[in-house]
Amino acid sequence: MKLVSWNVNGLRACMGKGFSEAFSRLDSDFFCLQETKLSPGQFSLDLPGYFQFWNYAEKKGYSGTAIFAKEAPLNVVYGIGVPELDTEGRMITLEYPDFFLVTCYTPNAQRELARIGHRLRWEEAFRDRLTELDRQKSVIICGDLNVAHQDIDLKNPGPNRGNAGFSDAERSCFSRLLSSGFTDTFRHLHPDQAGAYSWWSYLFHAREKNAGWRIDYFLVSDRIRDGIRAAEIHSDIFGSDHCPVSLEIQMP
């Protein structure tokens, strides 16, 4: 089973920058998007053979997630289940007989951690939701989780320490999530690989210099991590300030 996740930073813009070609090339069973920046009825996508699931932000042109799936799910849940956190279209959960698939676009703490309180409330609710799902069956989680976990996960850890996405609070939340029973699939297969990033600033030719951050993830329940066959970062695919990441896993 192959899954892809991509923060497209505006799907309409990404469509003009090679989205369809990337979608065909990656040829996955599940294709998950974050930051679609769409409103209901604003845009339609012709994807023969895929079921489409969209979650929209109330604010126009902001946030939003989607999942395209070859197999129809048993159930679909939009949001994290906390009303004050569910106005920005940040999460979709599909249920299948043997697993749940969750895509997530984690709120950014913003410059000078202006939104860190909201971010930490999200983190608590996210961990609670995932552990609740994990008690029922295995979980596959993907998306832009807006945190570089360790120094190896960004080019310049020193100057960025304490900034949004690399604050102690956010990194601790990620550690706590993993210790709750989840595996970072890329680090599981590539524990020491440096220079592997999924997001680059548009400023200062960051992508040319590979001065990036690894903030896009696939996590899985610990009990299925032995099924991980590949976890890749497709940095050669453009169209957004993020690149796609993928997972190939053999389910029990």
Residue positions annotated with a catalytic role: 105, 144
DSSP state letters, 227-240: GEEEEEE-TT--SS
Q: Are 90 and 55 in contact (CB under 8 A)?
A: yes
Can you name the residues that pair with 53 across neighbouring β-strands?
67
Helix axes 116-134, 168-179, angle to 10 degrees: 0
How far apart are alpha carbons 100 and 130 in whole angstroms? Answer: 9
Q: What angle do CA 103, 108, 114 make, to 5 degrees?
A: 155
Q: Residues with Cβ < 8 Å from 169, sequence gap 6 or more?
A: 116, 120
- Among 117, 140, 133, residue whose Cα is nearest residue 81: 133
Segment (H or E) for 214: none
